[in-house]
Chain A
Amino acid sequence: MTAITLIEAVNKALAYELEHDPNVVVYGEDVGVNGGVFRATDGLAKSFGEHRVKDSPLAENLIAGLAVGMSAMGLKPVAEIQFLGFIYAALDQIISHASRLRNRTRGRLSCPMVIRTPYGAGIHAPEHHSESIEAMFAHVPGLRVVIPSSPSRAYGLLLAAIRDPDPVIFLEPTRVYRLMKEEVEDNGEALPLDVCFQLREGNDVTLVSWGAMMHETLQAADELAKNGITADVIDVATIKPLDINTILNSVHKTGRCVIVQESVSTCSVGSEISALIAENALTSLMAPVVRVSGYDTIVPLYKLEKTYLPSKQRILTAVQQVLEFA
């Protein structure tokens, strides 16, 4: 077993599925010869041929629409959108068709497809490269939205996403692509979708996050532990459908919850989790649920992007707030 980065884990999961399932086709802008702008598909065209790892024309809506047609006819397309900020052009195909074909045809046709895309700020990218719009997809019936936060979860969840019979939006935290290494066994074992992963056990507060913000959330939990405050730390992982039970069980125990997310606060996944806790665990709460989010602004260009991103300090302040409430 070797320690690998998240981007290498993505590459290994793609290679594994290409190797084991002849219906899997990987394509997108620059994914072939060039191996993807982040190298997620590095070497795959060489190993599996350019008919299976294909450069597509530069058109995001086409990339999504092709996946609808391919998957309805029995292929398992794994398409890359180069940056999440470019996906808006593809929303019509994703929302109007991929998410609905099974329902519209009463199960006769379906879209077992994956759209992978790097997302989030913190890599000094230009405009339109840094958004976290997972809530937009979470709003759409019929989709799955999956966000890994570590190499091992990237590997296991991507395998699960490709094998899932329904469309999956797989958002890869760009900032974490090469942030850490983890030992990942390349054994083709998928992780379950639709469940949260509990990463730390504690009694004083529940910290809920996903994707890139997991990193700061875990740092905050470590810092709290030094002061004798123990936190349940939950990686949501599948944003939609949301496993609220794991979160509720934790909140019943701790009575306090801080949700950490990179996206804007308004109508966010954090808003949904917060509402579900209010509906289902009000009597367990000892303090209002607090969201630590990006600001309700456009993600700034890189001189201010660190200011935009929730910091460990902002998380600690929020935890202090819920601990000190009454």
Chain B
Amino acid sequence: MNQENTIVANFAISYFRYLDENGICSKELPAYLQDPQHIEKLYKMMAKTRIFDKKAITLQRTGKLGTYPSTLGQEAICVGIGAAMKKEDVLCPYYREYGAQFWRGVRMEEILLYWGGDEIGSAFKDNPHDFPICVPIASQCLHAVGAAFAFQYRQEKRAVVATIGDGGTSRGDFYEALGVAGVWKLPVVFVINNNQWAISVAREKQTASETLAQKGIACGVPSLQVDGNDIFAVTQKVEEALARARNGEGSTLIEAITYRMCDHTTADDASRYRPEAELKAHEKFDPIKRVKQYLLSKGDWDEARESKMIESFTQEVNDAVARYLETPTPPAEVMFEHLYATLPRAYEAQYQALKEGTK
């Protein structure tokens, strides 16, 4: 027998970024990202998401909202995804992608209603197709491949984006979805929102894999990393992946590297497990400061516009909060109203009793 080792496969993972932490752009941007108005739009949605997020935490702290997972520090990923998607595409989000959801027509008060304990928050009045926030980790990856199959089957030029945290890549659902996406060449883009922490478990304790992106390589899915704090890199790479997907070229896995600058949720205390110095060290990578710096350096932004923007978004968020707080608790019988398309006879008595308050 030949004792010689033969290498049968090799792979490499590339890392992509346009903007460094000082907001300096080192590469030539695609045309649409040279448009100051478009950049301003991206920046504004990131800023709006942060203002919303801060307000949501305040609401929770004052007993006006249930447990809430913040998206602080991750605004470039969700906003980049939202900006890259077309209206007819479908988003299967995990629970820190408010920026993408806002971009896609989900209302702020809907997100608040959801975390405030009312299912109506996932009814998405202005967004008929996107999946609701998915709490069971990574399970949305399978909905994404199912939805992508439906588009492929009907030969529609639509694609799906599934987002997932770094901890979610430990789950079978993630691998199962990548597996079938590779084999069936499904029009789906997986975005790993690698914020380094799965509640209290650091990414290094989740997996010995050198990158999370390389998990896609095992499934024949082209995979890459982007700087998840660089809105340009996220937007462009998701855009490219979606174009491939819609063209029938199959799926892509993007690992967006960022940092969770908040607790896991409002019920968590990250100081129990996360060194303060580590958090401090990541502050300079803040995705919002970075793009603001870029806009300022180009002369496309100034502090007067900044104050005006903050004032306007604060008002917008406050209005949404008011609408949320004014939404009455739904009547008890709604529990039965969307259980099945038509309420089976077997549950009519329970339904009536609940409605009349007799049971």
Contacts and interface: CB of A to CB of B under 8 A. Distances in A.
Contacts of B180: 56-57, 59, 62, 66
Contacts of A68: 142-143, 146
B175 to A, nearest CB: 9
A33 interface: no
Contacts of B128: 108
Interface string A5-26: 0000000000000000000010
Interface in A90-142: 92-93, 96-97, 102-110, 141-142
B341 A69 contact: no
Contacts of A142: 339-340
Interface string B177-221: 101100100000000000000000000000000000000000000
A57 B176 contact: yes
Nearest to B176: A62
Main secondary structure of the interface of B (DSSP, over half): helix
B147 A62 contact: no
Contacts of A107: 123, 337-338, 341
A288 interface: no
A243 B344 CA distance: 9
Contact of B136 (A73, A92, A194): A92
Given A25-B153, A70-B147, A97 B139 contact: yes
B346 A72 contact: no
B150 A244 contact: no
B151 interface: yes
Contacts of A251: none
A65 B178 CA distance: 13
Chain B interface bracket (under 10, 10 to 19, 20 to 34, 35 or more)? 35 or more
A56 B176 CA distance: 11
B293 interface: no
Interface string B139-155: 10111111111110110
Interface in B151-183: 151, 153-154, 160, 172-173, 176-177, 179-180, 183
Interface residues of A, number: 45
B124 interface: yes
Interface string B221-233: 0000000000000
A118 B124 CA distance: 38
Contact of B346 (A67, A69, A70, A243): A243
B149 A106 contact: no
Contacts of B150: 69-70, 73-75
B120 A106 contact: yes
A172 interface: no
B347 interface: yes
A241 interface: yes
A275 B243 CA distance: 58
Interface in B60-101: 90, 92
A265 interface: no
Contacts of B176: 57, 59, 61-62, 65
Contact of B146 (A59, A61, A72, A241): A72
Given A61-B176, A93-B139, 15 more contacts: A66-B142, A69-B150, A70-B149, A70-B150, A70-B153, A102-B339, A103-B119, A105-B338, A107-B338, A107-B341, A109-B131, A141-B339, A142-B340, A242-B346, A243-B345
Top 10 nearest A-B pairs (CB, nearest first) are A69-B146, A65-B142, A241-B346, A73-B150, A241-B344, A62-B176, A69-B143, A165-B341, A69-B147, A106-B123
25 contacts: A56-B180, A57-B179, A64-B142, A65-B143, A68-B143, A68-B146, A69-B142, A69-B149, A69-B160, A72-B146, A72-B147, A73-B147, A77-B146, A97-B136, A97-B143, A102-B339, A104-B119, A105-B123, A105-B338, A106-B123, A106-B337, A107-B337, A110-B341, A141-B339, A245-B345
Interface of B: 90, 92, 119-120, 122-124, 128-129, 131-132, 136, 139, 141-151, 153-154, 160, 172-173, 176-177, 179-180, 183, 337-341, 344-347
